[in-house]
Amino acid sequence: MTNPVAVPQTTAERPRSWYKRNEIALTPWLFLIPGVLFFLVYVIFPIFQSISISFTEWDGLGQAEPVGLENYRELFDDDAFYTSLRNNIIWLFLYLLAIPAGLFIALFLNQTVFGIRLYKSLFFFPFVISQVVVGLVFSWFYDPTFGLFNEIIGWFGLGPVNVLGDERYVTYGIIAAGIWPQTAYCMILYLTGLNAVDPEQVEAARLDGAKGWRMLWYVIIPQLKPATFIAFVVTIIGALRSFDLISIMTNGGPFGESRVLSFYMFEVALSEYGFRMGYGAAIAVILFLIMMIFITYFLWSMYREERGR
Amino acid sequence: MKPKKKKNTKTLKGRYSMRSILKATVASLGLLSLATTGALADAHGEKLTGTLKISSDMSNPAPRAVMEGMVERFGEMHPDLDIELTVTDREAWKTQIRNVLSANPPDVANWYAANRMRPYVDAGLFMDISDVWEDESMEALASTKGAMTLDGKQWGVPYTYYQWGVYYRKDIYEELGLEEPKTFEEMKANCQKILDAGKKCYTIGTKFLWTAGGWFDYLNMRTNGYQFHADLMAGKHDWDSPEVRQTFANWRELLDMGAFIDNHTSYSWQESLPFLVSGDAAAILKGNFAVAPLREAGLDDDKLDFYQFPAIDEDIELAEDAPTDTFHIPAGAENPEAAKAFLRFVVSADNQTLINNGDNLGQLPVNANSSVDDDKFLKEGFEMLSSNSPGGVAQFFDRDAPAEMAKVGMEGLQEFMVKPDNLDKILARLDKAAKRIYDK
């Protein structure tokens, strides 16, 4: 009797659940959670962890001892660090040659003749094979006693040059090996970019009498801008990550002259003779800061692009 | 060598459990009398049960067969024991051991003697097995006890070692009318004649640095004696000292002659062997492990011979490099009893004779009661180490010095071999590194 008469409710009037009310805003985040979680655990968190390890002295086994900025002080007084830094800069600049090289191969291959797919595949091949194989092939190519390279320069009365054993040439020799697959990568980016070039614009330019270099520079390349941007990003990142070729071809030698920062970090912290996690982390932090310059630039230009739309 | 990602894992567990099941069946059928099994167990004193996990780096074909053979024989002695053997690539093991010991320790693991043990001993990852060394039977291993001792305790047992020395082309020496040199002067005179004949005196591949460490070890031990060398490796002397400079001066004489092959920075030691095989170089300073590939490449005992590195200063006692490979028990071992039994089995005289013979490792047994195989190089090496090395026996540059110092040091040695004029810079760099590394 005390029971109140149940108020008849229609479903439409019942207040909707919190989730239902916010569904549109929440769903993207729900989908993002796994990605964000992994990104935090495997990318963001390790960055801060490396930074904190870089302020300690730690052999990876015992207790880490805080040493403040000691690792950085030592780093800036370390010849091997400057050698690695110098090589990193050489890598950065010379590796960019892969972009124009890739562009020209792409232009060359962007035609329809019999078997063009095969030619494209062959040019793309070096990017598909492992860097380890590239490194091995090139170290045989450069071999001072039996290698093809010395044979070839011998025809011009030069050499013999021990490319990988001479501290003056070793970095350039490795970069040349690295550019080979990187050119293929840039080529494929430009080939797809060339598919998107507006034929009407080309036609219009042709009617206006543009051809050759002027056509390329003023009509084609501006339309390839997105491809160029991606090629630039992957090449810069590739140059800074260079590790496998050095490890295969010279192991950092002769006497450490072909090291780059990533390889030096591996050597001091993780290799057969290295046990200095703190020092390695300090090198990693420096490398991170260098990468940060480029990453910031990339993000900023992408952001600007998005807003411009 | 570059750490390879290759990892060979092989578990023999199934096989051994099968064997124990078989044995049980056989016993229950009454075909085998209990007395026999009893006698077997008695013979080995204890009955081992559970699982014995072994992590080995003996991945090259011959050592791998030796390791598997030992597991098989030990398994037969202890039928109730399950043995799990994991073989890791030898070069990869050098970087993996840290993770394996701290994360997932086996009961037995391979490593190296002397200072190479230091990081794991200091981190408490190796078990102190001084009690094993107190056995009477271990007196036969007295010669290697020092190499297994750190802080007054023993941390493992050796299973093999090998001599270093000069392996040379006997036929080339005979052709040029040369004798095995006894002094540095003779060595240089020989070298000059070899050079005049259009060949190089020594082949070497310094791409992975350590081969240059062998040359430094010998030149320094001959110039300044074993004790000075040991102290230098232990950080008790400066690198920029008149003694060390004298060693480098001696080395420089050879470099200035052009004694070594060109472009050695591009080659690994394996890649340096073809020069010896083709006769473009007349000798190599190397450990006995070089003999097998050289024989395989066609140099029989008429063409290949061995001599001890000659004296430089006659007043200084000869000392040798003889690196020792070892077994250890990680501190986290779950079955230390079985592990200790396995270590005792490894160093026993019979097993030592067997695994070090020419068909197996082709190296020297560590047990004094073992017999050395009837092989020209092994006999000469054993003779040299037991009677003609009064100064002492060193492990090797990268095992005597702490790992970090070895790395910086060997890099300096390689640079010196290419650019001897940089000596001042190199020595200053080594001293700077030494100050940091040893002061810890």
With an 8 Å Cβ cutoff, are A79 and B429 in contact? yes
Does any CB of chain B come closer than 8 Å to the CB of residue A134? no
Shortest CB distance from B2 goes to which of A59, A144, A251? A251
What is the pLDDT at residue A286? Answer: 93
Domain topology for B164-321+382-438: D-Maltodextrin-Binding Protein; domain 2 (3.40.190)
Give me the percent of chain A exceeding a pLDDT of 90.
45
Q: Does A136 touch chain B (CB under 8 A)?
A: no
Q: Does A270 contact B429 at a Cβ distance shorter than 8 Å? A: no
pLDDT at B98 over 70: yes
Confidence class for position B23, pLDDT limits 50, 70, 90 = very low
Highest-confidence segment of A25-39, A246-260, B49-63: A25-39
* Domain boundaries along the sequence of chain A: 18-53, 73-308
* Cβ–Cβ gap B119/A267 under 8 Å: no
Q: Which residues of A fall within a CB distance of 8 Å from B94?
A: 272
Q: How far apart are CA A168 and CA A222, in angstroms?
A: 38
> What local confidence, expressed as pLDDT, does residue B136 receive?
85
Phi, psi values for residue A207, rounded to 5°: -65, -35
CATH number of B13-160+326-370: 3.40.190.10
Confidence of residue B35 (pLDDT cuts 50, 70, 90): very low
Residue A281 to residues A87, A265, B3, B98, Cα–Cα distance (Å) = 19, 7, 20, 18
Average pLDDT over residues B243-267: 93
Q: Which DSSP helix (H) or strand (E) runs through B131?
A: helix B130-133
Chain A residues with beta carbon closer than 8 angstroms to that of B429:
79
State mean pLDDT over B89-114: 88
pLDDT tier at A36, thresholds 50, 70, 90: very high
Q: Is A200 on the interface with B (CB under 8 A)?
A: no
Sign of CA dihedral B17, B19, B21, B23: negative
The C-alpha of A197 sits at a distance from chain B's nearest C-alpha, in angstroms, of 44
Mean pLDDT (chain A, rounded)? 88
Lowest mean per-residue pLDDT among A125-129, B4-8, B124-128, B359-363: B4-8
- Of all residues in chain A, the percent with pLDDT exceeding 70 is 95
Topology annotation, domain A73-308: MetI-like fold (1.10.3720)
pLDDT, mean of residues B389-416: 89
Taking CB atoms and an 8 Å cutoff, what residues of chain A touch B98?
A: 60-61
Residue A150 has pLDDT above 70, yes or no: yes
Same fold, B13-160+326-370 and B164-321+382-438: yes
Which pLDDT score is estimated for A11?
54
Instruction: Please name the residues in contact with B423: beta carbons below 8 A apart, sequence gap of 6 or more.
Output: B245, B248, B252, B416
Is residue B38 predicted with pLDDT exceeding 60? no
- In this predicted structure, the answer to whether residue B11 has a pLDDT above a threshold of 80 is no
- The pLDDT assigned to B243 comes to 94
Whether B414 sits inside 8 A of A271 (CB atoms) is: no
**Contact flag B436-A74 (C-beta cutoff 8 Å):** yes
For the segment A298-306, the average pLDDT, to the nearest whole number, is: 87
Mean pLDDT of B271-275: 92
CA nearest to A78 within chain B: B429
Nearest CA in chain A to B416: A255
Higher pLDDT, B61 or B109: B109
Are B238 and B435 in contact by the 8 Å Cβ rule? The answer is: no
Is the pLDDT reported for residue B29 higher than 80? no
Q: Ramachandran region of residue B375, left (φ > 0), alpha (ψ -120 to 50) or beta? A: beta
Which amino acid, residue A294?
F
Contact, B326 vs B110, CB < 8 A?
Answer: yes
| Distance from C-alpha of A143 to C-alpha of A165, rounded to nearest angstrom | 9
The HSE-up count of residue B313 (CA atoms within 13 Å, CB side) is 18
Q: Which residue of B has its CA nearest to A243?
A: B2
Q: CA torsion A162→A164→A166→A172, rounded to 10°?
A: 110
The ipTM estimated for the assembled molecules is: 0.79
Preferred mutation among A73, A76, A133, A272 to probe B, highest tally of B CBs within 10 A? A272
**Cβ neighbours of residue A304 closer than 8 Å, sequence gap 6 or more:** none
Structure confidence at residue B4 (pLDDT):
42
pLDDT for B156 equals: 92
Band (pLDDT 50/70/90 cuts) for residue A161 is: confident
Closest partner residue to A61 among B3, B119, B208, by Cβ?
Answer: B119
Residues of chain B contacting A144 with CB distance shorter than 8 Å = 262-263, 266
Least confident of A95-109, B142-156, B271-285: B142-156
Identify the pLDDT of residue B69.
93
How far apart (Å, rounded) are the C-alpha atoms in residues B77 and B86?
A: 20
Nearest CA in chain A to B116: A273
A162 in contact with B, Cβ within 8 Å: yes
Q: Which amino acid is at A70?
A: E
What is the share, in percent, of chain B residues with pLDDT greater than 70? 89
A10 close to B (CB below 8 A): no
Measured between CA atoms, how close is A25 to chain B, in angstroms?
A: 43
Give yes or no for residue B109 having a pLDDT over 60. Answer: yes
Question: pLDDT tens digits for B190-209?
Answer: 999 999 999 999 999 998 88
Could B415 and A251 be called an inter-chain contact, meaning their C-beta atoms sit closer than 8 Å? no
For B169-196, write each residue's pLDDT tens digit.
999 999 999 999 999 999 999 999 999 9
Q: Are B273 and B287 in contact (CB under 8 A)?
A: no
Is the bond into A100 cis (omega within 30 degrees of 0)? no
Which of A32-41, A154-163, B140-149 has the largest mean confidence? A32-41
- Closest CB to B208 among A166, A251, A270: A251
CB contact under 8 A, A255 and B125: no
Instruction: Pick from B266, B276, B436 the residue to mutate for testing the A interface (most A CBs within 10 Å).
Output: B266
- The residues that bridge with A283 in the sheet, in sequence order, are none
Q: Out of A157-166, A256-265, B152-161, B407-416, pick the least confident.
A: A157-166
| Contact list, B265 vs chain A (CB under 8 Å) | 162, 164-166, 253-255
Regarding beta strands B281-287 and B164-169, do their DSSP bridges make them parallel or antiparallel, or are they unpaired? Answer: antiparallel
Per-residue pLDDT band for B328 (boundaries 50, 70, 90) equals very high
Q: What is the residue extent of each domain of chain B?
A: 13-160+326-370, 164-321+382-438
Chain B residues with CB-CB distance to A under 8 A?
2-3, 91, 94-95, 98, 102, 119-120, 122-123, 125, 206-209, 262-266, 398, 403-404, 406-407, 411-412, 414-415, 418, 429, 436
